[in-house]
């Protein structure tokens, strides 16, 4: 995919508006979303750019919420001399993709860099409207995401998808139309009727529905063992609760030992991988959960379509 790259834009001594992924519950300088911005920020600092960072955090629904302020991240970005604007979602214009709000944001910079892959499946002002107003390119992390997620995967491709949101049910079905096997865990089996498709394997849940059964764990392992590529998109149960961590622990540990090309994505997935100390076993860990799945289904994102207009 031939996308406009940060290196294609003249950013020398320019005001550069940078969209980052800062949807992080609490400050941790080792968080993947913070660390993934380093290469882009280093490049801009070397070019003597004036860096203005925009991002969102949580779901304040268009109202100021001090608990979701971005101010806690400012000291981290001081080393690049960057100015961090306040949470975009404090203004309802962000999620409503309001043209006036987009103009206000665009006025802060001379050029725009989108390095917020995890938010790039949203039709929000900072993602799809600013590129119509400023010269735009993608940051280093975004480009790496597309390179890794856009590869011709070794077959068979096995996707593990889970979560608690019903919208992932449709995602699971779409993924099964594209890839060889889709294994469904989390709370999703509760919302799905049994499948006749041999490509869509819906797990069984234990009695309180907070984990998958031992029988399902073994069934999933059998499918994963045959995979050329494995994509982990979600934890298998309420993994943060010791009594419901078995599905996630057993499947993730099993996957980590396989020789398949391995990709993982999403906040909970990344946290679970960190807790199990198996990050080095993966070929790529995406900063995006929903964005990763949407790109795997559609091979594009609203952020990418926005630059084509």
CA–CA distance, 18 with 21 (Å, rounded to integer): 10
Q: Are residues 126 and 199 in the same domain?
A: no
Residues 168 and 277 in one domain: yes
Evaluate whether 261 touches 283 at the Cβ level (below 8 Å): yes
Segment 146-164 mean pLDDT: 95
pLDDT at 194: 79
Question: In this structure, is the dihedral angle defined by the CA atoms of residues 43, 45, 50 and 51, taken in order, positive or negative?
Answer: positive
Same domain for 228 and 91: no
Q: Which residue has the higher pLDDT, 165 or 159?
A: 159
Structural domain span for residue 76? 6-147
Strand partners, 161: 184, 233
> Which of 103, 130, 147 is the C-terminal boundary of a domain?
147
Q: How far apart are CA 231 and CA 255, in angstroms?
A: 10
Question: Does 1 reside within a domain?
Answer: no
- For residues 226 and 288, state if they share a domain: yes
The secondary structure of residue 42, as a DSSP letter, is H
Q: Which of 147, 164, 183 is the last residue of a domain?
A: 147
pLDDT at position 190:
92
pLDDT band (50, 70, 90) for residue 309: low
The answer as to whether 22 is a domain residue is yes
Distance (Å, whole) CA 235 – CA 271: 10
Is residue 308's pLDDT more than 90?
no
Is 70 exceeded by the pLDDT of residue 186? yes
Cα separation, 291 vs 26, whole angstroms: 21
Residue 232: the pLDDT is: 97
Is 305 a member of any domain?
A: no
pLDDT of residue 111: 98
For residues 57 and 107, state if they share a domain.
yes
pLDDT > 90? residue 174: yes
Across residues 265-274, what is the average pLDDT?
Answer: 92
Q: Based on the domain organization, do 138 and 175 belong to the same domain?
A: no
149 closest CA partner among 8, 285, 247, 9? 285
Write down the pLDDT at residue 80: 98
The tokens of 61 are what? 């629904």
Task: Tell me, yes or no, whether 53 lies in a domain.
Answer: yes
For residues 223 and 292, membership in a common domain is answered with yes
DSSP H/E element including 242: none
One domain, residues 100 and 132:
yes
* DSSP state string for 191-203: H-PPP--TTEEEP
Query: 106 lies in a domain?
Result: yes
| Distance between CA atoms of residues 260 and 57, nearest Å | 34
CA 12 to centroid of chain Cα atoms? 29
**Domain boundary, last residue among 93, 127, 147:** 147
Domain for residue 304, yes or no? no
Distance CA 164, CA 39 (A): 34
pLDDT in tens, 242-263: 899 999 999 999 999 999 999 9
List the CATH number of the domain containing 275: 3.40.50.1260
Mean pLDDT of 108-117: 98
pLDDT in tens, 119-137: 999 999 999 999 999 999 9
pLDDT at residue number 106: 98
Q: For residues 80 and 69, is the Cβ–Cβ distance under 8 A?
A: no
Whether 46 and 126 share a structural domain: yes
Q: What pLDDT, on a 0 to 100 scale, did the predictor assign at position 197?
A: 85
3-class state of residue 159 by DSSP = strand
Which DSSP symbol is given to 309? -
Query: Phi-psi bin for 64: left (phi > 0), alpha (psi -120 to 50), beta?
Result: beta
Domain total of the chain: 2
Q: Are residues 158 and 142 in the same domain?
A: no
The number of beta carbons lying within 10 Å of the beta carbon of residue 100 is 10
- Residue 161's closest CA among 144, 186, 140? 186
For residue 137, give the 3-state DSSP assignment: strand
CA angle 139, 143, 146 (to 5 degrees): 145
Residue 280, pLDDT score: 96
**What's the mean pLDDT in 203-214?**
95
Asked if residue 178 is part of any domain, the answer here is: yes
Please give the average per-residue pLDDT across 190-207, as a whole number. 90
Same domain, 89 and 170: no
**Token code pair at residue 147:** 């390179």
Q: Per-residue pLDDT tens for 58-111? A: 999 999 999 999 999 999 999 999 999 999 999 999 999 999 999 999 999 999
On whether the pTM is more than 0.85, the answer is yes
Cα-based angle 103, 107, 110 (whole degrees, multiple of 5): 125
Q: Is residue 308 part of a domain?
A: no
Please give the structure tokens belonging to residue 230: 């494995």
Q: Is residue 124 located within the same domain as residue 38? A: yes
């Amino acid at each position: 995919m031939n996308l406009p790259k940060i290196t294609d834009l003249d950013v020398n001594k320019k005001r550069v508006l940078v969209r980052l992924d800062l949807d992080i519950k609490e400050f941790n300088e080792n968080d993947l979303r913070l660390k993934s911005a380093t290469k882009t920020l280093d490049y801009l600092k070397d070019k003597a750019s004036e860096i203005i960072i925009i991002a969102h955090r949580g779901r304040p629904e268009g109202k100021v919420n001090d608990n979701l302020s971005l101010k806690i991240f400012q000291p981290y970005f001081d080393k690049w001399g960057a100015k961090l604007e306040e949470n975009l979602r404090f203004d309802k214009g962000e999620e409503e993709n309001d043209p006036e709000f987009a103009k206000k944001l665009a006025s802060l910079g001379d050029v725009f860099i989108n390095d917020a892959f995890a938010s790039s499946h949203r039709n929000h002002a900072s993602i799809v409207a600013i590129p119509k107003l400023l010269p735009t390119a993608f940051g280093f992390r975004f480009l790496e995401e597309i390179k890794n997620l856009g590869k011709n995967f070794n077959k068979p491709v096995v996707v593990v998808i889970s979560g608690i949101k019903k919208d992932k049910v449709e995602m699971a079905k779409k993924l099964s139309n594209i890839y060889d096997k889709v294994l469904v865990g989390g709370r999703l089996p509760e919302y799905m009727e049994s499948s006749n498709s041999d490509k869509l394997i819906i797990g069984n849940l234990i009695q309180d529905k907070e984990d998958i059964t031992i029988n399902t764990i073994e069934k999933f392992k059998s499918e994963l063992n045959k995979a050329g590529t494995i994509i982990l998109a979600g934890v298998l149960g309420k993994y943060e609760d010791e009594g419901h961590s078995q599905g996630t622990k057993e499947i993730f540990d099993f996957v980590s030992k396989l020789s398949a090309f391995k990709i993982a994505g999403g906040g909970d997935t990344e946290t679970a991988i960190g807790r199990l100390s198996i990050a080095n076993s993966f070929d790529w860990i995406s900063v995006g959960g929903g964005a990763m799945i949407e790109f795997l289904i559609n091979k594009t994102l609203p952020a990418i379509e926005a630059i084509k207009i």
